Each structure stands twice: as structure tokens, then as C-alpha cells.
């Protein structure tokens, strides 16, 4: 069944919508009346997302190509277009079982760099590739690729503890600008969400998740094709490359 769609309500896909910034963005966007499709690794466990009342909950593991393919097919079976894709899901080296404080270029196992880049950079690239025809059928379509200040050459050099994470987010930035230069139908924007109090950001972080997600949503909803190829902070200002 195709869901009905009104011009004021955007059809928005958010990956990693089970917790953290992705869940908070989903809640805010649902509260604003948008149709949110939350993509999660484990739909049965996505109780917080379910309580928020999304239009759909879809299974997606961005580290697994067969899951990405099935996700694209499932999405195409429930909607004929999407207006926004938020590639939010991501990991740090901690999630791969190593201490991210000991992941500098002199100590890290290169297999960690490859796996993290596969998940953080190639995962979103392949998700986008799988749903690009749905985006091209959308209104003012936007892909927001969640990067990090640590993917910036300027900031990454000052915070060199986790080369796997920094490389993976630098790759997100490159994929974003190359997507922008090769597809003029969709806006591709890289995002630094701030240092945010989530499982990843830890309690030591600077920003509350509601402040980060609220600002990202405001910025996201004002993006147009003119913004394609930018790297922005949560508040829509330019982040240095
Ligand atoms: N928090 C910060 O300070 C900060 C700073 C800069 C950038 N970022 C970026 O912002 C994004 C969101 O971060 P966060 O702080 O909200 O992180 P988080 O609280 O750790 O949440 C991570 C989310 O990604 C999902 N995920 C992880 N691996 C996945 C996979 N293979 N397939 C699908 N989903 C997967 C998780 O799903 P499960 O629940 O299934 O594990 C979860 O929903 C990430 O891309 C992160 O790199 C965060």
C-alpha cells in the first residue's frame, strides 16, 4: 500500500533511528507532522521509536549489503518517493571492541580502519545508491550525511586519537562532495552534529541530544539544492573541511 502524502509533510528516512541523535530527530520530525521511516538494525527492539509513532520501521544494517538491498526494496514497496534521507547510523572503534583512545596511526589494527570505513562511509553510500530513484522522485530531495568534526582535516589533526573513525568520516565528506558533483537532482550535505550526550558522545559531551537534534532538524528543513556539497554544523553554519 502506498502512503498518502501532502505537500506540507515531508517523507523522511532516518538510519540509526533506534537511539541517540537519530531517535531524537525522528521524534521531533514526527511531532512536526512529517512522515518518518525509521531504519533500525533490530525493529523488534525499537520500542522508543515505535512509541514516537513513525510511518514505518524498516530493518537496516548498514554493514550488510543484503540488508541494504532488502531495505531499498521494502522502502520502494511502501512509498513512491522520499524527500529526505538522513544517513545517521554510525559507530566508533569502541563499537568494534577496541579502545578508541589507542587507535592512532601508530597502533591501530588496519582491519579496524577498513571495517569502520565500510560501516560509516560505504554503508551510507550504498544506502543512498539503493534509494536514489526514490529520492529523485521526491520534492526538493536532500541527503544529509552525518559526518563529524573529526572528519575534517583541520580538526582531525588536532584530535588524532581514533584514525579509523576520523578516516571513515573524512570518507563521508568526500563521498558527499562527489555525490553532489555527479548528481544535480538531489542535494548532498555533510553534517557535524556537535559533541552530543549520547551513548557515542558520552555524558562528558557539550550538547544535550534535544538541542543538537532540534537545531539539525531546523537546518535540515531549510536545505535546498543550492546547499549541495556543503559541510555544515548542526546550526547550518559552514564547518571547515
Ligand atoms: N554523539 C556525538 O558527539 C557525535 C559527534 C559527531 C558525529 N556523530 C555522529 O552522529 C551519528 C549518530 O551518533 P549518536 O551519537 O546518536 O550515536 P549512538 O547513540 O551510538 O547511536 C548510534 C546509532 O547508529 C546505529 N547503528 C550502529 N551501527 C549500525 C549498523 N551497522 N547498521 C545500522 N545502524 C547502526 C545504532 O543502532 P543500534 O541501536 O542497533 O546499535 C544507533 O541507532 C553517528 O554517525 C556519529 O558518528 C556523533
152-190 per-position pLDDT tens digit: 999 999 987 899 999 999 999 999 999 999 999 999 999
CA of 123 to the centre of ligand 1 (A): 13
- Report which ligand 1 atom has the smallest distance to the Cα of 19: 43
Assign domain 11-233 to a CATH class.
alpha beta
Q: Is the pTM of this model over 0.85?
A: yes
Round to whole Å and give the CA distance between 195 and 206: 6
Q: What is the pLDDT of residues 74-118, one digit of tens each?
A: 999 999 999 999 999 999 999 999 988 888 999 999 999 999 999
Q: How far is the CA of 143 from the centre of ligand 1 (A)?
A: 17
Amino acid at each position: 500500500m502506498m502512503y498518502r502524502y501532502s505537500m506540507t509533510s515531508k517523507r523522511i528516512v532516518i538510519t540509526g533511528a533506534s537511539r541517540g541523535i537519530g531517535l531524537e530527530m525522528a521524534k521531533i520530525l514526527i511531532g512536526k507532522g512529517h512522515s518518518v521511516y525509521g531504519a533500525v538494525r533490530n525493529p523488534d527492539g525499537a520500542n522508543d521509536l515505535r512509541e514516537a509513532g513513525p510511518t514505518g520501521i524498516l530493518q537496516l544494517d548498514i554493514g550488510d549489503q543484503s540488508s541494504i538491498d532488502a531495505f531499498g526494496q521494502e522502502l520502494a514497496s511502501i512509498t513512491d518517493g522520499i524527500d529526505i534521507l538522513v544517513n545517521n547510523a554510525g559507530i566508533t572503534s569502541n563499537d568494534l571492541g577496541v579502545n578508541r583512545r589507542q587507535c592512532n596511526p601508530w597502533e591501530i589494527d588496519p582491519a579496524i580502519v577498513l571495517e569502520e570505513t565500510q560501516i560509516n562511509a560505504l554503508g551510507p553510500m550504498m544506502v543512498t545508491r539503493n534509494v536514489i530513484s526514490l529520492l529523485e522522485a521526491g520534492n526538493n530531495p536532500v541527503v544529509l550525511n552525518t559526518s563529524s568534526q573529526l572528519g575534517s582535516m583541520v580538526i582531525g589533526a588536532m584530535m588524532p586519537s581514533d584514525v579509523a573513525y576520523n578516516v571513515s568520516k573524512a570518507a563521508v565528506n568526500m563521498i558527499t562532495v562527489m555525490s553532489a558533483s555527479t548528481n544535480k537532482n538531489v542535494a548532498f550535505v555533510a553534517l557535524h552534529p556537535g559533541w552530543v550526550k549520547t551513548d557515542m558522545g558520552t555524558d562528558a559531551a557539550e550538547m544535550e541530544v534535544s538541542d543538537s537534534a532540534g537545531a539539525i532538524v531546523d537546518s535540515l528543513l531549510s536545505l535546498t539544492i543550492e546547499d549541495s556539497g556543503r559541510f555544515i554544523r548542526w546550526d547550518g553554519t559552514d564547518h571547515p573541511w
